[in-house]
Copies of this chain bind each other. A is one copy, B any other.
């Protein structure tokens, strides 16, 4: 009951639904690590709710904090013991980083991809950017390839600060490869790199708040997108991707975090994807690990953190799941202009 009340208070304050299990997850994470970012990573509690939960647990004298470190008081430890909260073992397979796939043919392009990616534009807060690490890009491409969604296929990448399109282009396996991005720096970088290297990659600037250009619809077998995570933003981007697919049997890949999306939001998203004509064929937790970005101190969660420090380059904590869907019918999903602030969502932490 105590955990439920803590969850309710944090849910109300953060406008982000969490339950007693989330409190347990947060406590288990604090039993594993004192570092605020490691705790955010391990707990899988949405950051905005975790910040409020930490304050509630501080008010009830379960924990203390200082300089980006958080630890349980003896009262907090006693409570954890009584509740049976214990940190689970981390069992991510070290060979595949939990992705379940080996790189196979992607291993042949890894070195070149790394060299080319070294010249990439840095992440900008304006476009809600933040890119996954190279290993995640290669694993995602390998996963897609193993599902027969790459070789001989027409593939559309919607938003590509990750440079997935570059990794796929290096394989020369797709029949056609198109990348769209809102950021002129990304568009130029991809286009120039493709030209210099003679890679089969079409690049165009496009703002996903607008429906896709008509000439792209519906011509693809596969789309990939890491949508912004406000509920309506996520769905709008996912629907853009679905609208670009030829029809039944075509597939889509979406990234979705636990950092900025509660499981309640996950459920809404899953319901909408199913209603739009798709089935979820795969859902892999923490498939992607992000590089830390440079705008930590201006992101909305910064002021909410009870104790702060900027994480180092190697201290990854922001991860996302990989969702693969497959269309079972022609998609029925709205293609309206996305009006107003598409980042506006109580669960948003990094915008």
Contacts and interface: CB of A to CB of B under 8 A. Distances in A.
A59 interface: no
A102 B142 CA distance: 20
Given A100-B93, A100-B98, A143-B91, A267 B274 contact: yes
Interface string A73-101: 00000000000111111111111101111
Contact of A274 (B20, B101, B146, B274): B274
A86 to B, nearest CB: 6
B105 A142 contact: no
A interface residue count range (under 10 / 10 to 19 / 20 to 34 / 35 or more): 35 or more
A334 interface: no
A248 B142 CA distance: 36
A284 B99 CA distance: 10
29 contacts: A19-B249, A19-B328, A20-B249, A21-B248, A28-B148, A85-B152, A87-B148, A88-B148, A89-B145, A90-B146, A91-B146, A92-B100, A93-B95, A93-B96, A93-B99, A93-B101, A94-B95, A94-B102, A95-B96, A96-B100, A98-B101, A100-B284, A263-B281, A266-B279, A266-B280, A270-B270, A271-B271, A274-B274, A280-B283
A249 B22 contact: yes
A282 B98 CA distance: 12
B92 A95 contact: no
Contacts of A98: 100-101
A249 B102 CA distance: 33
A332 interface: no
A181 interface: no
A93 B103 CA distance: 9
Given A86-B151, A279-B263, A283-B280, A99 B100 contact: yes
Given A92-B146, A96-B96, A270-B274, 7 more contacts: A19-B328, A86-B151, A91-B102, A93-B93, A263-B328, A266-B280, A280-B283
Given A22-B249, A104-B89, A281 B270 contact: no
A47 to B, nearest CB: 18
A25 interface: yes
Contacts of A92: 100-102, 146
A301 to B, nearest CB: 23
- Top-7 shortest CB links A-B: A21-B249, A95-B95, A93-B96, A283-B283, A84-B152, A88-B148, A267-B279
Contacts of A274: 267, 270-271, 274
Contacts of A267: 274, 278-279, 328
Contacts of A249: 19-22, 24
A82 to B, nearest CB: 11
Contact of A91 (B145, B283, B284): B145
A70 to B, nearest CB: 19
Interface in A101-151: 101-105, 142-143, 145-148, 150-151
Nearest to A101: B91
A219 interface: no
A326 interface: yes
A104 B93 CA distance: 10
Interface string A239-251: 0000000001110
A221 to B, nearest CB: 9
